[in-house]
Structure 1
Amino acid sequence: MRVQMQNIKVIDGTYKIRGNDTDMAGLVFPLVEEFKVGAKGGYVTVDGAAVNGFPDRNIKIKMSGPEGYELVGENVQATVREESDAEIVERIRERFEMLKDMTKAVKKGDVRAMIVSGPPGVGKSHGVEEVLDRYKTMQALGAGKSFEVIKGAMSPIGLYCKLFKMADKGNVVVFDDCDSIFQDDLSLNILKAALDSKKTRMIHWNTDSFKLRNEGVPDSFRFEASAIFITNMKFDKVKGKLREHLTALESRCHYMDLTIDSEKDKMLRIKQVTQDGMLDSYDIEDETKEEIMDFIDINKNRLRELSLRTVLKVADLAKAFPTKWEAMAENTVMRRA
């Protein structure tokens, strides 16, 4: 029986978080479906998105029987739970691990296209290119297919020509902060054809073009490559005509939101990447590295941009000006009060 608009309080149940069974007793969730018995035992289905720290989807809480929870109605609110810093770091780390796995799948051709959404300067491009760079050695030896990263503006005919050159199976076209193509009807139609769900994807240019003739590009071709779009936009927040364009593209791609939505998320991501060794290549003392991170943290609300790029800028100053890098940073990476 399906129950709507009801909340439940878990009395005795567990949910697997990062491989470990976690006690859920006392937590309140919106009920999606009453207790059932499946292949792996009994469970109740709840809306995990209602409580911080749980997946943004329906989840199954494992329990031995319907006595493992009680209906508490609409008046008892879902549990208000703040994610700990460790949970936020782990959530973001998992997303970036997924990004690497999805990029590998795109390279293999198992995934036709992917959109990666997240704020600037958190490592989106690095996460994708780090995976694709591993194929460069094979490519140099003639054993692997290629990839190409495209940044900035691109005309519709330029897009058509680029897709033709990269059309072979195994190739990957990465559009990095190339959002202008989303707003052009002709470019979008080209992308829709390139990423169509049909087995055979044909792209056509139906008007006469000197550029195509001059470059030896046919007026139609079969596209078998894959594509990755890296953007700062959150598609579900966009409105108007652009939203219609993005919906058409999103329907043809896997959409990955890196879930870095707050200044706190950004700061924790920056700390995580730095602790993982981002500054190891800099010839500066460990104490100075800690001072750099303290500078970023203390001044995060006045920085021109809270990002990994800003950390690297400050590290450059610390290396170039060991005794006065803080004063230099105040004048180059911070806004005036």
Structure 2
Amino acid sequence: MKAKTKRVNKLADAYRISSYSELESFVAAFAAGKINLIILVGEPGLAKSRTVKGLLPDACWIEGNASPFGMYLKLFEHRDRLVVIDDVDSLYSDRNGIRLLKCLCQTDEQKVVAWPTASRELKREGVPREFVTRSRVIIITNEWKTLNQNVAALQDRGHTLLFCPNAAEVHLKVSEWFTDEEIFSFLGEQLHRVDRPSMRLYHRALELKSSGLEWRAILPEFPGNARARRAAELLQDPKYMTQRARVEEFVKSGAGCRATFFNYARRLGHRHEP
């Protein structure tokens, strides 16, 4: 009878970061040899991979669709180099994949990476069944499931980062490369309607506009949250010059209490001001 897989919830121990500057600081520390392992978790469309690649242009890049055996060959070929494993879902749920990751993510400076069985392909490629490497690793994934104790042990060897930028932070990052001012300005005024921030929203709007279609419809009607809409209106209304005035009007209009206003203001990327 097959034993049940025990789920181990350890994401509560992760670092929650909300800005690209924080993410870049962690990657810079990794590049400088200060950090051995980073597990970077975040929603699709946040430019996680692009950000890491921009700071580590010479790293060995392994896509998540690689087989464990293909990964072993590539790790040997690029031993001692920094390694980025992108979209790891198919690897860390595979027995050989998690075994390789555990070897590679040891905290020792020199790690012994091994393949468990003899293989004609290893012999043909001139690759040994085990080798020593100084490689350090960043794992990038949209979702991290601590499926069992083996995955938990891997997680304990490094720093798990939950990357959760709000719509305003993503919008600011998009400004570095997006060139359509009309779309950019429109979306910037509608950030309170963006439930799940993604740079892909800007790409989709541009595709619709280039096709002569109604691109403004890319955003859904406001999702029934009058409180968030009211907070956004007050933050943009020049009549209310101070946060105190905005809060007073928010409460007076029956939208909610002071804490509710600041909660929505924070989601919209607005700093707490007097």
- Fold similarity call, TM over 0.5: yes
Confirm whether residue 308 of structure 1 aligns to residue 202 of structure 2. Answer: no
In the alignment, the residues of structure 2 paired with residue 244 and residue 161 of structure 1 have an alpha-carbon distance, to the nearest angstrom, of 26
Alignment TM-score, normalising by the size of structure 2: 0.65
Identity among equivalent pairs (%): 26
What is aligned with 1:289?
A: 184
* Inter-partner Cα distance in structure 1 for 2:220 and 2:208: 13
Computing the radius of gyration from Cα coordinates, the structure with the larger value is: 1
Distance 2:213 2:113 in 1: 57
Of 228, 250, 270, 2:170 maps to 270
Which residue number in structure 1 is paired with residue 108 of structure 2? 198
How many angstroms does 1:268 deviate by? 2.8
Q: Say if 1:109 and 1:225, in contact at 8 Å, map to a contact too.
A: no
CA change 1:210–1:128 in 2 (3 A) is same
Distance 1:245 1:314 in 2: 42
User: Aligned to 1:324, which of 207, 213, 220?
Assistant: 213
**Structure 2, unaligned stretches of length 5 or more?**
1-13, 222-274
Aligned CA RMSD, in angstroms, stands at 3.1
Regions of 4+ moved over 6 Å: none
Q: Contact conserved, 1:147 with 1:174, CA < 8 A, in 2?
A: yes
Aligned equivalents of 1:206 and 1:92: distance in 2?
A: 40
More strand by share: 1
The equivalences for 1:1-337 within 5 A come to: 92-93=18-19, 96-133=20-57, 146-168=58-80, 171-235=81-145, 238=146, 242-258=147-163, 260=164, 266-274=166-174, 276-279=175-178, 282=179, 284=180, 286-294=181-189, 298=193, 300=194, 306-318=197-209, 320-321=210-211, 324-326=213-215, 330=218
Provide the rounded CA distance (Å) in 2 between the counterparts of 1:293 and 1:174. 33
The alpha-carbon distance between structure 1 residues 161 and 314, as it changes in their structure 2 partners (threshold 3 A), is same
Paired residue for 1:61?
Answer: none
Number of aligned residue pairs = 209
* Segment of structure 1 superposing worse, 200-209 or 288-297: 288-297
Distance 1:269 1:98 in 2: 12
CA distance in 2 between counterparts of 1:105 and 1:295 reads 35
After TM superposition, give the deviation of residue 297 of structure 1 in Å. 5.3
- One-letter identity of the residue aligned with 2:215: E
- Matched letter for residue 18 of structure 2: I
**AA of the residue aligned to 1:97:** S
Cα 1:246–1:206, aligned 2, differ >3 Å: closer, same or farther? closer
Question: Is residue 201–residue 224 contact of structure 1 (8 Å, CA) maintained in 2?
Answer: yes
TM-score by length of 1: 0.54
- Inter-partner Cα distance in structure 2 for 1:296 and 1:97: 20
Flag the structure with more relative contact order, 1 or 2, with Cα contacts below 8 A and sequence separation at least 6: 2
Tell me, which stretches of 5 or more residues in structure 1 are unaligned? 1-55, 58-90, 134-145
CA distance in 1: counterparts of 2:153 and 2:126, whole angstroms: 30
> For residues 47 and 78 of structure 2, what CA distance do their matches in structure 1 show?
25
Q: Would you say the 8 A contact 1:204–1:220 is kept in 2?
A: yes
SS of 1:278's partner is: coil
